[in-house]
Amino acid sequence: MEENPEGEGKKKSGLMALAIPLVVLTVVGGGGGWAIGTMLSPKVKQAQEAAAAAEAPAGHGEAKKEEGLPHVSTEANGVVALEPITTNLAYPSENWIRVEVALMFNGPPDVKVAEDVHQDILAYLRTVSLQQVEGPRGFQYLKDDLQERVDLRSEGRVSKVMFRTLVIE
């Protein structure tokens, strides 16, 4: 068997034909990434400085760190977010429901009323079947039923029940 010197030359030229465009594309991609990074870097630094200035309290020099956006559901706003409620449905009992709700109070919030409402919602959800909460109409019925129960339990001190999450598994 004789080796063909021309075949070896074709292999090298084929490899070079692939390697050269690959190197060129890598350099172009890296240069483009660097250029975009240098354009965006000042904007990111300005945003970080503005966020740090907004977090720094004016006054006593105390540093209070809160991550993320401030919560809308605060007692100062008259809104109390209840702890998540997770329970199984009445039928089929192997299905679970998880609900997170917030209560909007008329006036100052009452923690005792909020806890009573939490327990009442839990007891009600244990009596609900999957067919009752299916679809948009079922969700609206659930929402109306919970609002009615909350109105009765709170004696009108809660003006609105707001659903944060509803998951049925």
- Per-residue pLDDT reduced to its tens digit, 91-131: 998 999 999 999 999 988 888 999 999 999 999 999 999 99
Q: CA distances (Å), 118 to each of 14, 51, 72, 103, 155, in order?
A: 72, 36, 19, 10, 15
Mean pLDDT throughout 34-58? 74
Alpha helices in 56-154 (DSSP H): 111-125, 135-154
59: confidence class by pLDDT, cuts 50, 70, 90: very low
Read off the pTM. 0.56
